[in-house]
Structure 1
Amino acid sequence: MVNSGGSMLLIWVSSILCVICVSLGYNPLDNYLIDCGSSTNKSVGDRLFVADQFYSNLLSIPHITFANASSSPNSSAYDPSLFQTARIFNETSFYTFSVNKSGRHWIRLYFFPFVFRSYNLSTAKFSVSAQNFTLIKEYQPKVNPEVKEFSFNVSSDRLVLNFTPFANSIAFVNALEVFSLPDELFPPGATTIGPQGKYLNLGKQALETVERLNMGNQTVFPHDDTLWRLWDADGKYLKHSNVEKFLANVKAVNFTKGRLTENIAPSSVYGTATVLNSDPDPQTNANVTWLFDVDPGFEYLVRFHFCDILPRPSARFYFNVYIGSSAVVQYFDLLNRTSDVGVPYFMDVITTVSGSRMLNVSIGPSNNVQYPNAILNGLEIMKISNAKDSLYVLDSISSKSSKTKVILIVGLAAGSFIIIVLALVLFLLCRRRSLADLSHRKAEDHFPMNEGDTVYTVGSKFSNGTLIFSTSKFGYRFPFVAIQEATDNFSESLVLGVGGFGKVYKGVLRDETRVAVKRGTSQSQGIAEFQTEIEMLSQFRHRHLVSLIGYCDERNEMIIIYEFMENGTLKNHLCGSNHPSLSWRQRLEICIGAAKGLHYLHTGSTKAIIHRDVKSANILLDENFMAKVADFGLSKTGPEIDQSHVSTAVKGSFGYLDPEYLIRQQLTEKSDVYSFGVVMFEVLCGRPVIDPSLPREKVNLVEWALKCQRRGQLEEIVDPLLQGQIKPDSLKKFREIAEKCLAECGVYRPSMGDILWNLESALQLQGDEGRSSHNGKMTEKFNRANSLETCGSAAQVSIGSMGDLAGVSMSKVFAQMVREEMR
């Protein structure tokens, strides 16, 4: 009798639900709304969540514990009453739902931990699966209420939902929804972004909703959506402020002229938007960007919702849509897709996230359009199940079970044997090294500090016959005692500067060559940087790159020896009170020199070299104020031909870091371009990049400079020491290219070649005023060797494409220049 009464009640409830769904415009054939752990039904808006005691026939173990919370959570956009009770599972349990309609179904699971008698739900750890998909694995509840949403195709006449607690733990659920979706909601597949975009069928994949946003910074609650979806306000996901503005014009939305229904997204979504704020500057070239936290190693379905609700009359506009640095669509003409204003439109694409936990989506104006604008009304991001039918981020490394145990046992046995062999090898190596150190100390006895007149050159040997200077690809290897002698035993009076790697000393070798000696500290832990810098500098020779003279790695030292730069760093001359100020022409020539050095790094070999630490402190000036780029310890080889970036940990200097690289950990040559743009504004303004002593709005040079530039107040940021020196056309050209370097998206930044061309133009627009006679001589001299900047990696390397110097070896070129300098 009880079972019969329960069945009659279930039929009665289902009838009511059908009536309610019809009134909402969508009537799912399969529709299960369960308030888990409850003994009474709950009305949530126009829907009725049925107490799961009436669904006991669906559960494999119907006698599982009910739990009641002492109070409702107050921090959920969903109805808080759904989190007051819970069904607790002490062992693997499952719901079995009858399915009347094949196709995609939604599963929504409600979780909120609370304490009930001896159960503390916050300590629960469990997995959830459905059909053959792993939906959740090793789930541990958060403090605040959480709703997880999944969808997948169901082709059989039943759907099984499993809850599996971990050993000595429990599983629970507060409420759940299972209902069939309208066929129009999800297309069978979508195309991947990128030049080699391909169509992927999603029929066999499960989807998990990661984010669902309503632009215009307004939340749309489930009771205002035909499919009871929550659309979160987008404001908290925006990367910048003052770049965008929010619009609301729901009355402008017109579903009757299009093919979409409100099942795709409601009017309250299409009737609000976030658009580019071009009011301060009608020619603005900024992007509006949203940032999202995602799991790497998965593909994601991204759905963009568009609807032109801009006030009329408004000009026709074109804009670009991006995911990361990849263009989804360029010169997007929304009106062309919808044929009329106010008509909703959506677009699906698939993107892969690897290496980073951040996914960014951007919209921005297309280049060379008369009316720059961009609009986005809504956005959905859904994780796609992987090849193992899992949506779990650690699935690939957590399911080894018995195979892992076997491998572990074998590995331990093999490891023990290897340890014994390694111990023996280490003993022999240590003994050999001690003998070598003894020989080395004897050799040092023949190289006393500050005594004797012996000069060691390439090919010279210690008394034991070993070479002082190696002719390996890493340049010249100096003995430690020679460096001690050159720096007066590292005298503090010879310190030129201090950096993260260590101190830099002025030194004089026995042949009177002045050098800069960078000595790593024992705390710097910069072995990788030490090796990288030696390798990089050994490969290249360029007039605007600081030259490597040698190195020393004896006694666990990390010492690099460079050519000495008489006038120190560019930063000291811009910000240091004890250094002479630079004229505008000098600053332009310094920027041009540094740009030439970076341009060579980016283009002078098969694969680009990315400096990764471009800043004014790493641009050095010789006795003639010619610029040379220095400090290659963080440099990185660029991407392969078929790749767009190098995925690597973020390194660099605060204030100069490319924000795109910082967020996505994807390095390109355009990261150097951004840093160089910061240097250019530093040159123009004559102040540090970050100055906490200034008022808040002026602390960050880049933010302040760009804000002044947009307001047409550029004169406020120009270094007062340059008053009356800069010609307007030269200033305009300089600030235009500097601003382009700082474009938010790397694809919009110019190349170093473009920057170099524009800087040369700025110098020409400045005219010949103040040009030094030395610079004139140097220009004439290097015109005869106009391709010297792109020379090979060392002397004696043939220059294959240097115009009049074709076939001339590098050593001859240098020799000719030296002879001319001595005349």
Structure 2
Amino acid sequence: MRASNDHFLIWILCALCLSSSLSSGFTPDDNFLIDCGSSSNSTVGDRLFISDDLSSNILSNPNGKSLSTTSNVSSSSPLFLFSSLLRTAKIFETTSKYNFKIKKQGRHWIRLYFYPFVSGNMDLSLARFSVSAQNITLLKEFQMDSGSVIKEYSLNVTSSNLVLTFTPMVNSFAFINALEVVSVPNELIPSSVPTVEKLVRSLGNRALETVARVNMGNETVSPNDDTLSRLWVADGPFLMHNDQVIVGKFVSNLTKVNMTRDSEIMAPRSVYGTATQLGVDADANANVNVSWSFDVDPGYEYLIRYHFCDIIDLSLGSLSFNVYVNSWKVKDHLDIGKLTSGILGAPYVLDTIASPIDSSKFKISVGPSNFHEYSAAILNGLEIMKISNSRGSLDEPSFDLDSKKVSNVKVGLISGLVAGLLIAAVLATLVIVLCRRRRRLALVRHSKEEDNYGVNGRESKYIIGSVGFSSSKIGYRYPLAAILEATDHFSESLAIGLGGFGKVYKGMLRDNTEVAVKRGTSKSQQGLAEFRTEIEMLSQFRHRHLVSLIGYCDEQDEMIIIYEYMEKGTLKDHLPVIDPSLPREKVNLIEWVMRKGRDQLEAIVDACIVEEVELESLRKYIETAEKCLAECGTDRPTMGNILWNLECALQLQGNERSLHLKESSSQADLSNSWEASVSTTQFSTGSAVDIAGVSMSKVFAQMVREDMR
């Protein structure tokens, strides 16, 4: 009898030890809970949030403004529990940082609390800002109109210091109500996860953002009931309905759950003890699933975690079903009993990675297996976490997904697109050839008529393109006699300027058009190559911000270029007067920059944007400018090369549009090449094609497409 009592006592002690180990939960090494803008500490459940005003050592900007409100979050909101935290906020008008000393490196949660209330003349819904941590962009130009939200992230912290940076946009500000930086158990996020296409994706250095954390069974689980203080919202609002059959049925049976410490970390008992199951009236052959719909951002991959626990039928082998996300089958014939090694009521977690191609939604489904007579299917919980892209961002979509995946899914669409582009290219080539041939004939006829033009009526004949111009790239060629008449034989009284090419004269053509005539001299710093390049380039486009080319003359070894006359003078005429007493390096920006040198690049940048400029981008920009200032013209880059280097500088700065330059240029070739060629010929005063409405980016893109690079 005594032996029996001893065994009973041992069993009781073991049960108590197990219960104690489960209830103790996870104790984080790092546990920073901050109540922002509050003058005192706040308690939420059994957790204490410290006022950032009382912890000034963590905030780099002591000038941040504290605000408070008496309004509360709606009592029906899942965040009502955090009302005491959301009634205060910290405001930043300049870049500000929270610094946290990390005890143990590894994954940490960053939870950001936002509630845009109105306090006096300050409306937090007008705030627009970005947030980053450890070179990861968490929020980009974030703005919240109303409501309340907790943004939860998981970062692999690899240093002893974690810096959380708030950067307001221009003429705006940033705010934060509360924040958390808490250690995450190592086993919570695996180092690698299979994708729906049976590939393996590494998560070691990737950041995650919790997009959805849902408890099936239509019950909300408070952070107070979760070992890791997670909020699980009810699945009711996400459940998709079917008019023909009762698809979803909510069930609850907490006593059937067989928890372990590992499963307690994955999700609490209250998640595994509730479920949404496929309606019992569903026919296994009816192809009916129970489904949920979630909004997600396209251009990202997502970690999807399914939580299962058999709480509806504990006879092993009786529950087998299929698991889906969108059109992919994640798991075929999922048998919880087999996967949990026959442990009744044991939780099971299924992870996969998927991307919402051609959609901004995830449809999560469970349904009956065709190889099982019993039509039941259940889901206890679900988590969807966005994975940071290759640029280390969680708020700037990247569409450079796995090429193999895209080709497998869209092979038909891509093939059709390629075929269509080939046909369009052939047709466009034929049109361009025919149009150029027609314009070439018209140009010859036009030139022959004008070649008969002379001061004394004598017939004069000239060879078109005597300086080697391509007939498709030149403007109108004027005879020398017409230029002499327009400028009164280059009268000094009509001289209006002097440049590196030569003198500039004001002239009047026979149709009373005022022109500016630039005449090259033997002492000119520019030669035939520059003369030809300038004419070919300016013949191809006109823009309201550029002086239009009217024509040229290369007769009798002359190098003459004719422009429209600027009756209001040059840009220099309208600039403020420069103080001649100042040193040259303070007047000439070029010499000032050169004097600074490469080691003082930051001094060149405007102080308003110096913090936003990437040093490598600035260095590339200065390098390009230096090449443009070469003494010898042949050493200077072409316009195409300049544009290419500027685009490279934009890429280094992180401009997203630069990533698609090549694609944009190739698409623009088809649509703009014919338009550009039309504007290169038949120039005459008052009748030339004007592209003043065309953006400068298109003009430069057209230059790149020429053989100037």
Shorter-chain TM-score tier = 0.5 to 0.7
**Residue 355 (structure 1) aligns with:** 358
Distance 1:404 1:251, change over 3 A: same
SS at match of 1:263: helix
- Are residue 290 (structure 1) and residue 296 (structure 2) matched? no
User: What's the counterpart of residue 61 of structure 2?
Assistant: 61
Q: Which runs of 5+ in 1 are unaligned?
A: 1-20, 428-823
Residues 76-112 of structure 1: CA deviation (Å, up to 9, x unaligned): 3122121100000100010110000111000000011
Over 3 Å counting, the alpha-carbon distance change for 1:260 and 1:417 in structure 2 is closer
- SS of 1:261's equivalent in the other structure is helix
Alpha-carbon deviation of 1:393? 3.2
1:403-447 Cα deviation digits (max 9, x unpaired):
4698899999999997563457999xxxxxxxxxxxxxxxxxxxx
User: In structure 2, what is the equivalent of residue 251 of structure 1?
Assistant: 255
**SS of the counterpart of 2:209?**
strand
Contact 1:94–1:163 (Cα < 8 Å) also in 2: yes
How far apart, CA to CA, are the structure 2 residues paired with 1:246 and 1:105? 33
- Counterpart-to-counterpart distance in 2, 1:349 and 1:280: 27
Query: 1:355 offset after TM fit, Å?
Result: 2.3
CA offsets 1:712-754 (integer angstroms, 9 cap, x no match): xxxxxxxxxxxxxxxxxxxxxxxxxxxxxxxxxxxxxxxxxxx
Corresponding position of 2:128: 125
Q: Residue 156 of structure 2: which of 134, 153, 164 is its match?
A: 153
Give the drift of 1:312: 5.3
Match of 2:318 in 1: 316
Relative distance call for 1:394 and 1:155 in structure 2 (3 A) is: closer
Which residue identity is paired with 2:677?
Answer: V
CA apart distance, 1:115: 1.9
Residue 63 (structure 1) shift: 2.4
CA RMSD in angstroms comes to 3.3
Q: Which of 276, 279, 284 is the equivalent residue of 2:278?
A: 276
- The change in CA–CA distance for 1:417 and 1:366 in structure 2 (over 3 A counts) is closer
Correspondence for 1:337: 339
Mapped contact 2:258–2:347 kept (Cα < 8 A): yes
Paired residues of 1:284 and 1:372 also in contact (CA < 8 A): no
SS at match of 1:57: helix
* Aligned residue in 1 for 2:266: 264
SS of 2:104's equivalent? coil
Per-residue deviation at 1:201?
A: 1.5
Q: Are 1:393 and 2:396 an aligned pair?
A: yes
Question: Quick one: percent identity of the two aligned structures?
Answer: 49
Structure 2: distance between partners of 1:97 and 1:300: 28
**Match for 2:378: what amino acid?**
I
How much does 1:40 deviate? Answer: 1.0
Larger Rg over CA atoms: 2
Q: Contact conserved, 1:285 with 1:372, CA < 8 A, in 2? A: no
Q: CA–CA distance in 1 between the matches of 2:383 and 2:306? A: 7
Contact kept, 8 Å, 1:41 with 1:51, in 2: the verdict is yes
Out of 369, 373, 376, the residue aligned to residue 373 of structure 1 is 376
TM-superposed deviation, 1:389: 0.5
Aligned to 1:527: none
CA contact (8 A) 1:278 1:284 kept: no
* 2:102 counterpart residue number: 99
Does 1 or 2 have the higher relative contact order (CA < 8 Å, sep 6+)?
2
Over 3 Å counting, the alpha-carbon distance change for 1:301 and 1:280 in structure 2 is closer
How far apart in 2 are the matches of 1:124 and 1:22?
A: 43
Name the structure 1 match of 2:231: 230
User: How far apart are 1:155 and its partner, in Å?
Assistant: 1.7
1:110 aligned partner: 113
Q: Which runs of 5 or more residues in structure 2 are unaligned?
A: 1-20, 401-611, 622-645, 651-656, 684-709
Specify which of 88, 94, 100 is matched with residue 91 of structure 2: 88
Closer, same or farther: CA 217–423 of 1 in aligned 2, 3 Å: same
CA contact (8 A) 1:103 1:154 kept: yes
Partner of 1:817: none
Change (3 A) 1:425 1:211: farther
User: What is the CA deviation profile of residues 506-539 of structure 1, one whole-angstrom value per residue up to 9, with x for unaligned ones?
Assistant: xxxxxxxxxxxxxxxxxxxxxxxxxxxxxxxxxx
2:430 maps to 1:174: no
Q: Which letter does structure 1 place at the counterpart of 2:359?
A: S
Q: Residue 298 and residue 312 in structure 1: after superposition, are their counterparts in 2 closer, same or farther (change >3 A)?
A: closer
Instruction: Report deviation, 1:22.
Output: 11
Alignment of 1:441-590 (within 5 A): none
Structure 1 Cα separation of the partners of residues 183 and 83 of structure 2? 24
CA–CA distance in structure 2, aligned partners of residues 246 and 363 of structure 1:
14
Amino acid at match of 2:319: F
Do the aligned partners of residues 404 and 142 (structure 1) sit closer, same or farther apart at CA in structure 2, a change above 3 Å counting?
A: farther
CA distance in 1, matches of 2:349, 2:208: 18
* Number of residue equivalences: 403
2:71 match: 71
| CA shift for structure 1 position 132 | 1.2
For normalisation by structure 1, the TM-score amounts to 0.46
User: Are residues 365 and 67 of structure 1, via their aligned partners in 2, closer, same or farther at CA, if it must alter by over 3 Å?
Assistant: same
**Aligned equivalents of 1:327, 1:396: Cα separation in 2:** 23
Task: Report the 3-state secondary structure (helix = DSSP H, G, I; strand = E; otherwise coil) of the residue aligned with 1:38.
Answer: coil
- Structure 1 outlier segments of 4+, above 4 Å: 21-24, 280-284, 311-315, 394-420, 423-427
How far apart, in 1, do the equivalents of 2:681 and 2:183 lie? 67
Amino acid at match of 1:27: T
Task: Give a deviation string over 1:659-714, Cα, whole Å, max 9, x none.
Answer: xxxxxxxxxxxxxxxxxxxxxxxxxxxxxxxxxxxxxxxxxxxxxxxxxxxxxxxx
The 5 A counterparts of 1:134-145 are 134-145=137-148
**What residue is the counterpart of 2:500 in the other structure?**
none
Are the structure 2 counterparts of residues 312 and 383 from structure 1 closer, same or farther at C-alpha, using a change threshold of 3 Å? closer
Quick check: 2:215–2:234 contact (8 Å CA) kept in 1?
A: yes
The 3-state SS of whatever aligns with 1:251 is helix
CA distance in 1, matches of 2:647, 2:348: 50
Partners of 1:284 and 1:45 in 2: CA distance? 47
Specify the code of the residue in structure 2 equivalent to 1:369. H
- CA displacement 1:446-483 (0-9 Å, x = unmatched): xxxxxxxxxxxxxxxxxxxxxxxxxxxxxxxxxxxxxx
Structure 1 partner of 2:440: none
Deviations 1:105-131 (A, max 9, x none): 000000111222332111111000000
Distance 1:312 1:182, change over 3 A: closer
2:290·2:367 contact (CA, 8 Å) conserved in 1?
A: yes
